[in-house]
Structure 1
Amino acid sequence: MVIKNIHISRASRYLVLGGIGVLLFMGCSGDVEKTQESDITLPVTVMEPVEKDLSKIKKNGVLRMITSYSSGSYFLYRGIQVGFEYELLKEFTKENELALEVIIPGPDESPYDLLNSGRGDIIAANYTITPERKQVVKFTRPYNIVDQQVVVSDDLGFKPESITDLEGIPISVRRNSSYFVRLQELREQGFPVQINVIPEDMDTETVLFQVADGTHQATIADDNIYEAASKYMSGLVKGPLIAESDTIAWAIRTNAPDLEHQLNRFLYKHFRFDEDGVPKRSAFLNVLRKKYFESGNQIADYFSPGYQEGQIGTFSPYDNMIKEVATEFDLDWVMLTAIAAQESKFNPSSVSWAGAVGIMQVLPRFSEISSDSLYIPEVNIREGAKILSSHLKHYSYMDSTNRWSFALAAYNVGQGHLADARRLAIDHNKDPNEWNNVSEALLRLMQRKYYQNARYGFARGIETVRYVNEIMNRYNTYQTVLAYNQAKQSTGSGGVLGLQTLN
């Protein structure tokens, strides 16, 4: 049996305490830096790599993965290790009977130095292959192809068709990124590019969120990251491409030919080009791409479900069952129905990417009910209601609106992260019993300067805030439908508002 360990390098050990990550996206978190004189440098001090090829790695039984703590590479979701890079590399370690250990560079640590010093064995962080990086590391064969996409805020009021349309509009990117390098190249070619350098700890998803809310006017993102983010972020407008067909690969030491060979054999099974240069992907890689990028929101399925017209006053085939369980736990059955719709679209066979099952998406590892039994609708609804009831009791001193908001947030993200957000609200002199204040704090927990001091680490706050808002909105809509139908019945005018209009 392979035991998976986690090592977090200095100044980053707190990250392992996180209970939930996020879903899903990370840009080309490149470490290329370009000065005003156009001299490109990398943050490297260890120039000579240690002698540590595959044989030594197998002798130790552990492959050490250098990555970033982000929703596209590696994060914790309620204690579950997930992330596109993590799952892909974990498949390699399984095939080679190795344990996979995670190393997250601290604020002052270079991933290249961690690699060349032997503290890590492979950089798996969605790195673009660039000539500058190839001077320091060896790249495997690619496992993805991406385009660099300009993304602007819809506050600008127009869709830029070319880079010249962005004259006078600052484009916010990290200096140590391939985006920055590409913008510098365009500037040197005479294009009117204005670059706004932002902190290095802001991943692409965070920047996109700030473009969506108008904090920044424009940024650059890989096209797959933009497509995924646009499914659940409003306020983003697609601009022109500034680079096409960038290759993404893993980075290893320059003196590890056996490791390179074995990694390339593995990647060849999952990604290669046909005779026409068209990329071909394995079923496994396609599943990972869909899970973390193509389907958008991967923490939970928050897209509005489609409804079928039915009897007056009904929302699902399980209304009577939900009413009975709600009465048992003294819950609002309409709210319980709204949660079930959000969690599973009333699908009793639903299984989330993280293993949550059934109508209420209960995680078996946190339930005393057997996994098989959780697929039984009544059992699953009752277990979800029990968990929700415990959260409501925990916040029983609050008013009704805040109490439900906090209970829903705890059901989604866990009470640990919610406690971190409440402490952060206090730090900002805000009332921790007001959901509006805590929701703001949850969004801050997506930023390194806040989550690095939080007990439970990084939290995908945007997911939880959206989860609470959508359920509350759905609940209000359900109540409106019920009132409408009751009014129709009482006046005898007939007609039922079709439930399919709710999505």
Structure 2
Amino acid sequence: MNTRIARITTRLLISLLCLLTITGSVRPNTVEKIRSQGEIVVITRNSPTTYFEDNIGATGYEFELAKAFADYLGVNLVIKQADSLSEIYNAIDRNDAAFAAAGLTATQQQDKWVRFSTPYMQVSQQVIYRRGGMKPKEIFDLAKGQLVVTSDSSHAHQLRKIQGQQIPELTWSESPDFETVELLQMVATGEVDFTVIDSNEFEMLQAYYPNLAIAFDLTGAQPLAWAFPQSRDDSLFKVAQSFFRNAQTNGLLLEVRERFYGHLDQLNYVGAKRFQRQSDKKLSKYDGLFQQAAKRHNLDWRLLAAMSYQESHWNPRAKSFTGVRGMMMLTRRTAKELGVRNRLDPKQSIDGGADYLVKLRKRLPKSINEPDRTWMALAAYNVGYGHLTDARKLAKKDGGDNTRWMDVKNYLPLLSQKRYYKQTRHGYARGSEPVSYVQNIRRYFDVLVWNDNPDLDIALESENLQLSASIRVIPPLL
């Protein structure tokens, strides 16, 4: 009897195992579910280095990478915004999003909660202070001033490590409500003495806060990566790893890096202060003319204003040693072709400059897409269409992509070297000038967009830090 019962039990167990095997084999994994639904939900932060809306729609470094990954999967991208880092990690833990693309530092503290992808950027943590204020020269000086960081950030984790191992008297405040912009604003206005942010964030935002500077690096290079759930189903994580190993993705990373960071070193402290002063003093006299010209030509008026600052510092009577004149520094020949009778008249000069830029942009091959199309048109405005064409031919001959500004800007400077310009139709050119010209305009444009966006104008009163219920003061260990 017992033998018979044992046989029956064994058969039932075998049947159950077979059933589990069969049902398990047909259960779709995460990637299959995403593809069947036709969309992937990604959680991120709303910030200049991750995701934001501009005049052409959604953009940002993280957004562009996530969009490329969605295309790689063949699905639509759905963005979900979080208000804090803890909200991001909680959303991943609850599977409310497929992964997080939010400028997250891959740290050991978070490894137990999420699975980080292959890094796509290296950054360092930097201590930021106000010029003319208290400047910390080493980490021990952080205990002498008021320091604020974002809760649950890699910066907060690093401060805890320093407090535990080196400076037990260190104290600071942290809040989940403070994003990078708010922290920099508080330091800039003197509400606090220091903050800590990632190097890529300060690189992007420094021009908007010229009175801020880097005291020192708090860490060495640290990786930024996407965060995936810690799950047995790692199908999406594996596809993401393949995406980052893909040769096309490597090219994409370089392209996106150039688009968002390639021009940021053009505006130093002195240049940023000068641009700020000129904007406050002169721009209001002419912004109406820039807006009218931009509307007629379907351009962004801030691009025209950035061009004009680069050309003349908004001086209607500007003149170069080559004889170009006016707000947009038109040559006599170009002005005649455009119907500009008086190059010193601000309206005529701005209209003429806008008209000329549009003609150059239309003249470029259809294979050149935006924003590279505008950057190359600007280069042609400065150095001439023929020289730009020569540089594009050199790039193509050398195996580069002559439809991308990222490649072409490396060949323009070669036009001043005989062994290169003798191969071209139009000969010698001061090829480094159009590169600086374009990169400067891109930076001025960034600042004008920032200043013109009321959503980015953060007014923090001095009592905010003390009254905010979300502020947590980390006491010393002494």
Question: Structure 1 length normalisation: TM-score?
Answer: 0.52
Match for 1:136 among 92, 95, 113?
A: 113
Distance 2:345 2:370 in 1: 24
What residue number does 2:216 align with? 240
Deviates more, 1:204-213 or 1:85-94: 204-213
Is there any run of 5+ residues in structure 1 with no aligned partner, and where? 1-49, 272-280, 360-408, 422-440, 448-503
The change in CA–CA distance for 1:201 and 1:353 in structure 2 (over 3 A counts) is farther
Letter in 1 for 2:260: Y
What residue number does 1:310 align with? 322
The change in CA–CA distance for 1:230 and 1:120 in structure 2 (over 3 A counts) is same
1:167 Cα offset (Å): 3.5
Partners of 2:83 and 2:177 within 8 A in 1: no
Give the secondary structure class of the aligned counterpart of 1:156.
Answer: coil
Distance 2:152 2:351 in 1: 42
The answer to whether 1:262 aligns with 2:239 is yes
Q: How many percent of aligned residue pairs carry the same amino acid? A: 20
The change in CA–CA distance for 1:84 and 1:344 in structure 2 (over 3 A counts) is farther
Distance 2:264 2:50 in 1: 15
Give the secondary structure class of the aligned counterpart of 2:96.
Answer: coil
1:106 Cα offset (Å): 5.6
The answer to whether 1:292 aligns with 2:260 is yes
More helix by share: 2
The change in CA–CA distance for 1:106 and 1:190 in structure 2 (over 3 A counts) is closer
Distance 1:146 1:166 in 2: 21
Distance 2:258 2:162 in 1: 32
The change in CA–CA distance for 1:109 and 1:208 in structure 2 (over 3 A counts) is closer
Give the secondary structure class of the aligned counterpart of 2:119.
Answer: coil
1:70 Cα offset (Å): 1.7
Structure 2 counterparts to residues 3-402 of structure 1, below 5 A: 53-105=30-82, 110-156=87-133, 158=135, 160-191=136-167, 192-197=169-174, 199-255=175-231, 256-269=233-246, 282-296=250-264, 302=306, 304-305=309-310, 308-311=320-323, 313-314=325-326, 316-317=329-330, 333-334=345-346, 337=349, 348-349=360-361, 353=371
Partners of 2:340 and 2:348 within 8 A in 1: no
Distance 2:218 2:84 in 1: 29
CA offsets 1:300-330 (integer angstroms, 9 cap, x no match): 77585266433385451267977999999xx
What residue number does 2:457 align with? 443
1:80 Cα offset (Å): 1.7
Letter in 1 for 2:35: K
1:342 Cα offset (Å): 11
1:269 Cα offset (Å): 3.1
Give the secondary structure class of the aligned counterpart of 2:224.
Answer: strand
Question: Structure 2 length normalisation: TM-score?
Answer: 0.54
The change in CA–CA distance for 1:339 and 1:84 in structure 2 (over 3 A counts) is farther
Letter in 2 for 1:142: P
Partners of 1:305 and 1:341 within 8 A in 2: no
Is there any run of 5+ residues in structure 2 with no aligned partner, and where? 1-26, 267-299, 313-319, 379-444, 462-478
Give the secondary structure class of the aligned counterpart of 2:144.
Answer: coil
The change in CA–CA distance for 1:242 and 1:77 in structure 2 (over 3 A counts) is same
Distance 1:138 1:151 in 2: 30
Partners of 1:340 and 1:346 within 8 A in 2: no
CA offsets 1:137-157 (integer angstroms, 9 cap, x no match): 222122122111111110216
Letter in 2 for 1:249: A
CA offsets 1:210-264 (integer angstroms, 9 cap, x no match): 4234343211111222233234531122112212222211111222311111100
Distance 1:146 1:343 in 2: 41
CA offsets 1:371-422 (integer angstroms, 9 cap, x no match): xxxxxxxxxxxxxxxxxxxxxxxxxxxxxxxxxxxxxx9xx769xx98x95x
1:287 Cα offset (Å): 2.1
Partners of 1:147 and 1:244 within 8 A in 2: yes
1:190 Cα offset (Å): 3.4
Higher relative contact order at CA 8 Å, sep ≥6: structure 1 or structure 2? 1
Letter in 1 for 2:39: V
Partners of 1:80 and 1:354 within 8 A in 2: no
Give the secondary structure class of the aligned counterpart of 2:124.
Answer: strand
Give the secondary structure class of the aligned counterpart of 2:118.
Answer: coil
The aligned length equals 315
Letter in 1 for 2:153: S
Give the secondary structure class of the aligned counterpart of 1:150.
Answer: strand
